[in-house]
């Protein structure tokens, strides 16, 4: 459970995992969403974090498989372990704070 919450602790990872619920694989859509910015970081810096921190972290946990060469992310072997939390968040998005999803 701790690993699931760690994976969901970042908005970029949450959005990618929720996107995978309906669209597996994600092709050419592994970029930081433009509407998600951190005041201290530029979009370019966030993209570097995404490619060097967030995607590798999710892949290491087994929630995704990431083909860097093809720019493709698919559900990993442990995706079903995090699925109930993702579905809960997606199904109750209107009840959650705006910056959660």
Residues in the chain: 101
Provide the pLDDT for residue 9: 92
Residue 85 has pLDDT above 90, yes or no: yes
Q: Is 24:74 a contact under the CB 8 Å cutoff?
A: yes
Q: Is 98 exposed, middle or buried (CB count within 10 Å of its CB: 0-12, 13-18, 19+)?
A: exposed
pLDDT tens-digit map of 3-53: 999 999 988 888 889 888 877 665 544 555 555 555 556 777 777 888 899
Provide the pLDDT for residue 30: 53
Residue 83 exposure: Cα atoms within 13 Å on the Cβ side:
10
């Amino acid at each position: 459970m701790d690993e699931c919450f760690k994976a969901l602790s970042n908005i970029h990872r949450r959005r990618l995992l929720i996107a995978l619920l309906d669209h597996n694989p994600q092709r050419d859509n592994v970029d930081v969403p433009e509407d998600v910015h951190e005041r201290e970081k530029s979009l370019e810096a966030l993209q570097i974090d995404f490619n060097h921190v967030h995607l590798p972290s999710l892949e290491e946990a087994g929630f995704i498989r990431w083909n860097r060469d093809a720019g493709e992310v698919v559900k990993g072997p442990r995706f079903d372990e995090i699925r109930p939390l993702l579905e809960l968040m997606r199904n109750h998005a209107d009840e959650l704070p705006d910056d959660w999803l």
